[in-house]
Structures are given as C-alpha cells and as structure tokens.
Amino acid sequence: MIKKGFLGAVSAALLLSGWAHGEAPASPARRTTALGVVIGNDDAASRGTYSWKGIPYAKPPVGELRWKAPADATPWTSPRLTQQFGSACASLGRLYGPGFNNRYDATIGASLDKFVGSEDCLYLNIWRPATAAKNLPVIVFVHGGSNITGYTADPLYDGAALAKTANAVVVTVNYRLGLLGFFRSPHLKTGDPRDDSGNFALLDIIQSLQFINRNIASFGGDPGRVALMGESAGAVNVYALMTSPLVVKANPPLVHRVLPLSGGISRASDLPPGAFPVLHPASAFETQANAMLMHLLIADSLATDAASAQTYVASRKPEEIASYLRGKSADAVLATVLKLRPAGMGGSNPVPDGHVLPESPIEAIKAGRHLKVPVLAGNTRDEGKLFPGLLALAPALGGVSGRLLTDAQAFEVHFSYDPDAAPAAKLEQWIPEAYLPMTKAGTGFNARMETLNSYWFKPLRDNVLGALKSQQGNVWYYSFEWDQEPAPFNEIFGAAHAFDLPFVFGNFGPQLWANFMFTKANETGRVALADAMMRSIGAFARTGDPNDAALGVTWPPWPKTLVFDATPTAKAIRVP
C-alpha cells in the first residue's frame, strides 16, 4: 500500500514541476513571469483571493551593489515558491514594527532602536480576486514609516480585502530605508547620475514599477491602468516619483493614477514661515553622509575627532573610502543614526538631486513638468495626534511633549489591551497636565494639535494640491474623520495619522493600534465605511474617477472635500 505522505510528496513535486499526466496543472496560483515561474497561495476558499509573496524584483543590494541603483533580479529556472513575505528592509526598530521576526508580534517592544530586517529585501507581493478576470486595474502601495522604517509584512497592508472589494490586483513593495535608501556621499560618486543621486529608495520603487509593467498581465492586471498609492513617507515618495523625469518620460508609461495620502513634497521656500518642509537641499544629505563616515572612523579607531577623520579621508583615494563604507555591516551603518539624531541628521527623505528628483518638485508641477494623471489625495483630520512628542519642538506648540508614555510603554499597553472591556486607561496616564483639559481653548491638547497640523500637514497639502490644480482638474481630496474608538482613545488619537489605512485595506485585525481602535460596538459602521472607501479606490484605479455608488454622494474635485466618517452603526460620508 502506498502511504498518503508519499502521495502528497508526489503531488507537490508534480505541482512544482508543472506537469501531471503530461498536462500543465490547473493551479491558479502558478504564474509565469519574465524571470521564471512563481507558485503562490490559493486562498480562494478562505479569502476569495490568490496571492504571491516575496517575489524578487531586483538583485539584493548588498556588497558592491549597496548604494547603487537596483539591478535586475536574476532569473530562476525551477518554479519558485512565493508564499511568504520577503524580509523587511534593514532599519532600526520602531513602535511601528517590524519586530525581530519580520512580523507584528511581541518582539517589537524589545526591538526599539535595535537592528531589524535585512539588506536582502527588494521583494514585492501580489493579491488578486480568485476569479478568471483579466485586465484588472492595478493598485501599487508604498508603505510609510518616515522613510526609515516600515515593512510589507505588516498585517495592516495585507492586500486580500482590497483586491477582492475593489476588484483589482494589489501590489505592495519593499524599498530600501534610512541611510541605506537615501545616502548621498561625495566618496561614492561614479559618474552615473542614478547612483550619484542618493535616491536609492526611489529607484527601487521605479524598478518595482518596471517589473510590474512587464509582468502584471500574468497575474490578470492591466499594465495600462496602474495606480500608485502611498501613505505618509510613502506619499512623499509618490509625489517625488510624480515629478521624477525617470517616471514622467518613461515609455511605456509606468503610472496612470496616483493616490498620495498624508504627504507632501515641499521645500521650506515653498511654504509659509515656520511650516515644516519635506525636502532639504542635496548639500544637507552630503553633510549627513560625511558625519556618518566620521562616526564610523572614530568607532573603528581610525580617527579621534572630526578633524582627524577629515585628515584620514583626505589621505585616501575615493575608491578606498567607498570600499570602506561598503564593507561596514548594515547594523554598523544604521547604528550611527543614534549618534546623528542629536544633531538633527538622523532622518531620511528624497534628495532633490536634479536627475532622479527635480530640485523643486513644486515648481516642476507648476511648470507642467510632472506626470499629468488623476490624483486622489487625502489626510486624516487629527494627523498630529500620532506625534504628540513634537509639541516639545517650540513654545508655540506647548514646549513639552504631549505624551507621558515611552514607545516601549505604549506598545506594552496596546499589545494586550481589550477594547471591549471596561476602560483600563485614563487621559491623565497619557496626556501631560499642561494640555488638560483636552478641549481648553488655546492650550488644551486638541488646540495644540490643531496648531501642529497648521505648521505641518495643512501647508504641505495646500502647496502641492494648489500646484496640481493649476495644471489639471482631475484632483480629488478626502478628510478622514472617523473617531469612534473606545474612551479615552477617541480623545487621545481621534482621527490620527494613518488611522485611515485599516479602512483603505479593510483590515481590522492584529496591528499596532487595533486594540485601541476597534470594538464590537463600532464594527457595523466601520465595516460599512471601509467597504465604501475600498470601492471608491477601486473605481479610481479603474477609471481615474473615485465616484462610486457606495459613497452615497457625489465626490466633487478639489478644493471641495469629501469627508469619510461613520457612526457606530452606519457610514456617514458627506461633502461639507
């Protein structure tokens, strides 16, 4: 008698080889790309989708490929299992994950400011409805995380619900982060303007779009209807690519609609005095790179201070310094961020180098030198409530942090919090007395957060949407205002930054803020709101217009605003 285990092994081998009884298997999870065959997950019975995870779209950017434009991935000859997410890109752990296991789990609390992820991380993931439909619109998502953290394995970004509800192919993309993703060092100059730009993360995303253009038809997607969506830093990158000559002049076109959520692309000179810019001069990134090199040389006892570090560098050939930098571990590179932070040089963002990104993206838009495609932008009403620590930046904002808990403490509380039980948290445990009562005019927490928004998200929004509107009429904008969290989190967070994402993806399961947000009491209304939002995004990806019957109202173009909201029991979408 033949054992069942043997039969199972034979069946698996036949599936991988692609043949059984002389015929190709009918598995819908088997697809052919230009690089080779991939075999994903058939989740038709449980989720109504098929998915492929961890598809490489470029070679690992390691060794000599570190701090260079991405190279085409190496083809494979045997069918490749693509059923698990690729590693998160190397970063320092933050509250938003991942933990040490490339997923949302308890290790996030222990990974803060520790090395997580891997440099071998240029992978993308695909979901599609479990149907035979072809030429579906494609939604490509670029995650946020201040361009220093984030990962596509975050359960928040699971694309199954969006793919099914929007009737679209959904793709999520990893890209290099922090000093590995944005790094402009004079010692790495090669004469190749892409390598010399410092915009490796943007080039990664472009590389993924080229992969999608060549291969998405094999997954039922239409390469002529690609909607590029990003949130927070992801939106910054979407705006950057919208003005990048490499994308604007791409033939065939790589992007046909854009959905930048909670982002901007302005320099300080584009904004009112005191407003927070996104872009800094290319020279600032060279200063950052030189400071990083100095710290590495001192750590290796090759220098004792800035002056001796400069002397050491001057005595070496550029290729020697380049080899030194590429020889350092990713952990050592990122560890210098902790030393750069006190000097305000620990962040990362696109570099206005003049080749990959214009020196002034806003001026490029005003001159019509941008991707003239439909735009669907959005913000949350209470963006700043996710960043209460920023109130300490200036007396006009309050002068002290608006959060009493550390990130480690906040993670410990939320990871095991029961939102359906009696409230186990109080405002006074989270918000400093200086900002209480919350509703006090001028100095209360809500007023201070409104001031923060007036310096940050609102001027960024008005600047870029105003520039776009001067060139095209097909611009739509939403304000996400759902704040039905259980007390006291409805006040602490309200409609905070990124709180629209669970609705955009239809995912209310385990994720960073889920235990503070979602209850049985607010389930009916939030599910209805999420359904309408996903259908509207699907309509936009399909036609370039977000209007859909599920909204219940007509969505007029910017400067009009559509408000996404819900009561505990019903969606409450409106145009003010």
Mean pLDDT of the 431-441 span = 97
**What are phi and psi for residue 56, nearest 5 degrees?**
-75, 135
- Tokens representing residue 535 in the block: 């259908």
In angstroms, how far is CA 257 from the centroid of its own chain? 17
Among 109, 96, 101, CA closest to 148: 96
Q: What integer pLDDT is reported at residue 159 of this predicted model?
A: 98
Overall pTM > 0.85: yes
Query: Which SS3 state, helix, strand or coil, does residue 224 take?
Result: strand
Check pLDDT > 70 for residue 9: no
Among 98, 318, 346, 136, CA closest to 222: 136
Check pLDDT > 80 for residue 22: no
Q: What integer pLDDT is reported at residue 6 of this predicted model?
A: 37
CA pair distance 237, 501, nearest whole angstrom = 17
CA pair distance 222, 134, nearest whole angstrom = 7
Non-local (6+) Cβ contacts of 252 within 8 A are 213, 223, 224
CA pair distance 361, 359, nearest whole angstrom = 6
DSSP state of 385: G
Check pLDDT > 50 for residue 18: no
DSSP state of 574: B
Q: What integer pLDDT is reported at residue 17 of this predicted model?
A: 40
Long-range contacts of 99-106 (CB under 8 A, 24+ apart): 102/151, 102/153, 103/153, 103/155, 104/154, 104/155, 104/510, 104/511, 104/512, 106/415
DSSP state of 332: H
DSSP state of 286: H
**What are phi and psi for residue 478, nearest 5 degrees?**
-125, 155
Residues facing 92 on adjacent strands? 115
Strands (E) across 232-366 are located at 257-261
Banded model confidence at residue 11, pLDDT cuts 50, 70, 90: very low
CA pair distance 127, 221, nearest whole angstrom = 10
Q: Which residues are catalytic?
A: 232
- Among the residue ranges 5-9, 152-156, 320-324, the one predicted with the least confidence is 5-9
DSSP state of 569: S
Non-local (6+) Cβ contacts of 536 within 8 A are 546, 547, 548, 550, 551, 555
Non-local (6+) Cβ contacts of 109 within 8 A are 99, 408, 411, 412, 415
CA-CA-CA-CA dihedral for 491, 497, 502, 508, to nearest 10: -40
Q: Kindly report the average pLDDT of the chain as a whole number.
A: 95
Q: What is the pLDDT of residues 242-277, one digit of tens each?
A: 999 999 999 999 999 999 999 999 999 999 999 999
- Rg over alpha carbons for the chain, rounded to the nearest Å, is 24
Check pLDDT > 60 for residue 21: no
Q: What integer pLDDT is reported at residue 26 of this predicted model?
A: 61
- Tokens representing residue 20 in the block: 């059984």
